[in-house]
Structure 1
Amino acid sequence: MQPAIFAAHGSPMLALEENAYTRALRSLGERYRPRAVIVFTAHWESNIQAISDVAAYETIHDFGGFPPELYRMQYPARGDAATAVRAAELLTEAGIPFVWDRRRGLDHGAWVPLRLIYPDGSVPVVQMSVNPWASPAEQYRIGQALAPLRREDVMILASGGTIHNFATLRWDDPPEADAWAVAFDDWLLGRIREWDLPALFDYERQAPGARLAVPPGGNEHFVPLFYALGAADDQRTVQELHRSYRYGNLSHALWAFGG
């Protein structure tokens, strides 16, 4: 059985860097070899679940102000029509509406982590949107509907970030993480270990530092977590594979659920 993975995609510069986090992402590719990956990306927002059905993806460079070599990078991912259709069947069975997208390429929320995990692009990909306007329970339900795919040798990868607030970043990149950021991630991991869904769904009120970690109107990077959790509802286990911080509080969390 394949896991559901939550991976912070951090800065696009991860595609060029060598550090403990990039090594942790690479180790995923050594540990897991699925027949396909479904990737929920924080950089594709829609109020109805969207599923990509693309034979070969273009690489989208949806960022600005980075070194030229980053814009020259390509990730030669191909799609998987059978997996996309199976995902659509599962959503239909759960009564969850969806739309097809047959044009969109892979944004950096998808291709940066995928390029580190499967550098040669040999594992097919089905990209899916996230809905930051839905409730956590609704996001969880979408992941839950797709959980059977894990038993069919499909990895569920949710790409975002537990803490993603440009207003709080410290660009001098101090070696010590901000205490409030560590406390927020510690709270999340503790609640996940207990699979305490009422608390997790109410994180805005209950989690310490929630308004700093997930600023109002900026939850698109956080919500992929609920899709990944839902996809592991049948096992409800978590492994913390890596956690570090850049710029004081940009979290590099890598968590595996189920599997």
Structure 2
Amino acid sequence: MAKKGIQETFYISHGSPTLSIDESLPARHFLKSFRQKLLPEKPKAILIISGHWETAYPAVSAVDGPSATIYDFYGFPDQMYRLKYPAPGSPGLAGRVRQLLHDSGFGRVAVEPARGLDHGAWVPLMLMYPDADIPVCQLSVQTQNDAAHHFRLGQALRPVKDDGVLIVGSGAATHNLRRMKRNGDGTVEAWAYEFDNWIKEALVEGRYGDVIDYAAKAPHAAVAHPRPDHFYPLHVAMGAAGENSKGELIHHSWTNGSISYASYRFAENAD
């Protein structure tokens, strides 16, 4: 018997906040086509894991009403600070997430009733679901923990998919802002290409153990991710996908010579 709900999970590379306004970015057009091409079924709620919310232990937002739009960036065009994404929160989903994590041994889990959506959440979601009519909860990352910790977070959250909840990790496949080119010539840095390609092959082949151990096994891992904040959301989406799942590359583009917008869908094999 087929499982109910939404069994696919996703990892989205959200790149620069200018994704919200820059029509020249291929990733923007990819996200605007998400509903038509990747998930025609409307989720009952969205659980998004953003690399822009770091906490000492897992925390989940539980806004009762419209979510605040957090402008956690500086020096960008004024129009970006006027954008709003007032999606409703879901205290019910937040409570379920807390219980699932607690039951899986995560101990302390915070529920944050006043936490809005940072740009790692609202920028991709405003393109994917512009009506802002789907309840959204955001889950934090714990950068003092490892990739295995985040994979286990995803495993613990699998049951919410049966309730029609879409799980999305939002980060960046490569994220070293100090190494990006401000005025690039269209070429991609070798270290970024090699890391990005290694991750793609590992995910498509279902080598999740290698992706969890990416810091030791992937080429140029420390350069591609000097900090793991934007990569750990991938491990949550990967863990939530299921035991027999594999990754599928659903979008790929580059900016600034080293910023990969690689995005993935995770689904269990039919066989």
TM-score scaled by length of structure 2? 0.91
Partner residue of 1:15? Answer: 20
Partner residue of 1:253? Answer: 262
Given that residues 76 and 120 in structure 1 are in contact (C-alpha distance below 8 angstroms), is that contact kept between their aligned partners in structure 2?
no
Tell me, what secondary structure is at the counterpart of 1:185? helix
Partner residue of 1:158? Answer: 169
CA distance in 2, matches of 1:202, 1:95: 22
Partner residue of 2:3? Answer: none
CA distance in 2, matches of 1:58, 1:174: 38
Given that residues 4 and 228 in structure 1 are in contact (C-alpha distance below 8 angstroms), is that contact kept between their aligned partners in structure 2?
yes
Partner residue of 2:203? Answer: 192
CA distance in 1, matches of 2:112, 2:203: 32
Specify every segment of 5 or more residues in structure 2 that has no aligned partner in the other structure, as ranges. 1-5
Tell me, what secondary structure is at the counterpart of 1:70? helix
Partner residue of 1:25? Answer: 31
Specify every segment of 5 or more residues in structure 1 that has no aligned partner in the other structure, as ranges. none
Tell me, what secondary structure is at the counterpart of 1:148? helix
CA distance in 2, matches of 1:203, 1:70: 34
Q: How much has 1:241 moved relative to structure 2? A: 0.7
Counterpart among 134, 147, 158 of residue 158 in structure 2? 147
Counterpart among 9, 26, 40 of residue 4 in structure 1? 9
Deviates more, 1:86-95 or 1:156-165: 86-95
2:138 paired with 1:132: no
Q: How much has 1:4 moved relative to structure 2? A: 1.2
Task: Indicate the RMSD between aligned Cα atoms, in angstroms.
Answer: 1.4
CA distance in 2, matches of 1:150, 1:176: 39
CA distance in 2, matches of 1:12, 1:197: 29
Partner residue of 1:169? Answer: 180
CA distance in 1, matches of 2:20, 2:185: 21
Q: How much has 1:174 moved relative to structure 2? A: 2.6
Counterpart among 30, 34, 37 of residue 46 in structure 2? 37
CA distance in 2, matches of 1:139, 1:219: 11
Q: How much has 1:20 moved relative to structure 2? A: 1.9
Q: How much has 1:188 moved relative to structure 2? A: 0.7
Tell me, what secondary structure is at the counterpart of 2:253? strand
Structure 1 letter corresponding to 2:92 = A
2:224 paired with 1:213: yes
Q: How much has 1:199 moved relative to structure 2? A: 1.8
Structure 2 letter corresponding to 1:165 = N
TM-score scaled by length of structure 1? 0.95
Structure 1 letter corresponding to 2:11 = F
Within-5 A mapping of 1:52-131: 52-55=61-64, 56-97=66-107, 98-131=109-142
